[in-house]
Amino acid sequence: MAGVDGKVVVITGASSGIGEATALHLAGRGARLVLGARRTDRLTDLVERIEQEGGEAVRVRTDVTRREDMSALVALARERFGRLDVLVGNAGDGTISPLDDLRIDEWDRMVDVNVKGLLHGIWAALPVFRAQGDGHFVTIASTAAFRIVPAMAVYAGTKHAVRAICEGLRQEAGGSLRVTTVSPGPIGTAFAEASSNSSVREQVAGMRDRIAIPPDAVARAIAFAIEQPATVDTSEIVVRPTAQS
């Protein structure tokens, strides 16, 4: 089934930023959505906005670091809509800081969310896709997966891992499954505010305010990958501001 209309799409990290923009964009294209995030108040508001515009969406509190949460998210898609066509793995953690800060709890969190969260999504959805005979993994990485800069060593390491895992998944997927990695550059979200290092936070926020592009730019890239014919795998998309070096 090509196109977006009618497809059942799970989105993690759907309560804000790229996840929220993707939910709104895909709902406008006729996708049936299953939304997961930790902030249920924001999820509830998002579902109401989608339904007011005539779209279909359900939500459940989801922490991607918990395997049982990812299993419940995928199960909700099947219970409500009978199948799962696309898993958009958008949930991420970007608490960046210099290694000298020794913020090991934040390092652990980035590994848990960015890497283990991806694996939990594969664990939950891959058997469903195999049983159906089709399915599509779309995972958000970062341009940090291509270029490492100071204060982003651990974050970039997790995003390098995302690209590696997704490429391995693509090679193992066979002819019936699709695997897409989308790597955004600076996007107009609250990414900068996650850092607990004030100087890093100020630097990243300044770059965002100068050159960032809106989250909808990434949403459109995700829709492009989804709408391709079943035999076409758009395996990697990089979405960055023209001003990004």
If one counts every other C-beta atom within 10 angstroms of the C-beta of residue 123, the result is 14
Of the residues 107, 129, 137, 155, only one is catalytic, namely 155
Residue 155 annotated to the active site: yes
Mark 165-184 as b/e (b = at least 16 C-beta within 10 Å): bbeebbeebeeebbbbbbbb
Structure tokens at 214: 């809106």
Mark 72-111 as b/e (b = at least 16 C-beta within 10 Å): bbbebbeeebeebbbbbbbbbbbbbbeeeeebeebbeebb
C-alpha–C-alpha distance, residues 243 and 27, integer Å:
30
- Catalytic residue list: 155
